[in-house]
């Protein structure tokens, strides 16, 4: 029998999922915890009951899914973590994958898919849905395409984050409006942006501009 642990701060939901898993062939539930700290304490106190797979929620109090997955990956690499969450934002998915999760499922996943994922993780070491594969490939592709901004483009971005018009930016940079238009097109294309609002958000996130 393969041992499964569940970590979720929504007790009713985790107990319902535990009930499903208990019906799967060759699986038993050895622990249901409300946060990562509880799971870690259980694993460390019960080496003979160490789970083969952990179904891990992402956002939890005390010790969340990313932190717990990182800890298990470092100290108990033989334990496979399968994220099970309502969060479907690309950044959240990649946080869990980078932390060491071997797969990522949404909580509205069908019972048959959950059973398949558990078996795949144990047999092949991972289970990626089409959505997760797309996110991982997209992230890797963006990582490979390193964005290089020229000094004058960065200067343009800083000015574009203010209330100045493009004409005023041209005057400020001692350039023609046509050259500024060229900078705008170049920056938007490099960063995959469509408007000035997106540029401001990018600049703030990447510490180019401090409001």
The yes-or-no verdict on residue 154 having pLDDT over 60 is yes
Q: Which residues of 148-173 are buried (b: 16+ CB within 10 A; e: fewer)?
A: ebeeebebbbebbbeeeebeebbeee
Least confident of 88-92, 124-128, 136-140, 180-184: 136-140
pLDDT of residue 119: 95
Q: Are 52 and 79 in contact (CB under 8 A)?
A: yes
> How many alpha carbons fall within 13 Å on the CB side of residue 32?
15
pLDDT of residue 129: 84
pLDDT of residue 89: 83
pLDDT of residue 26: 93
The backbone torsions φ and ψ at residue 164, rounded to the nearest 5 degrees and listed phi first, read: -65, 145
In this prediction, residues 158-170 reach a mean pLDDT of 95
pLDDT of residue 138: 72
pLDDT of residue 34: 95
Give per-residue pLDDT as tens, 77-122.
999 999 999 888 888 888 899 899 999 999 888 999 999 999 999 9
Unique residue bearing structure tokens 């993780």 = 121
pLDDT of residue 132: 82
Task: Classify 65 as helix, strand or coil.
Answer: helix
């Amino acid at each position: 029998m393969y041992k499964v642990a569940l970590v979720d701060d929504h007790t009713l939901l985790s107990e319902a999922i535990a009930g499903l898993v208990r019906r799967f062939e060759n699986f038993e539930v050895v622990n249901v915890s409300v946060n990562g700290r509880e799971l870690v304490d259980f694993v460390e106190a019960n080496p003979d009951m160490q789970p083969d797979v952990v179904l891990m929620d992402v956002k939890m109090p005390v010790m969340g899914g990313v932190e717990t997955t990182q800890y298990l990956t470092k100290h108990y690499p033989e334990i496979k973590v399968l994220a099970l969450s309502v969060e479907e934002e690309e950044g959240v998915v990649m946080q869990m994958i980078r932390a060491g999760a071997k797969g990522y499922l949404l909580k509205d996943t069908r019972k048959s898919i959950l059973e398949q994922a558990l078996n795949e993780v144990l047999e092949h070491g991972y289970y990626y849905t089409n959505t997760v594969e797309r996110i991982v490939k997209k992230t890797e592709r963006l990582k490979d395409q390193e964005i290089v901004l020229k000094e004058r483009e960065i200067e343009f971005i800083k000015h574009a984050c203010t209330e100045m018009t493009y004409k005023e930016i041209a005057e400020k940079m001692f350039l023609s409006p046509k050259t500024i238009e060229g900078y705008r097109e170049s920056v938007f294309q490099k960063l995959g942006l469509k408007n000035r609002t997106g540029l401001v958000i990018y600049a703030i996130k990447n510490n180019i501009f401090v409001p």
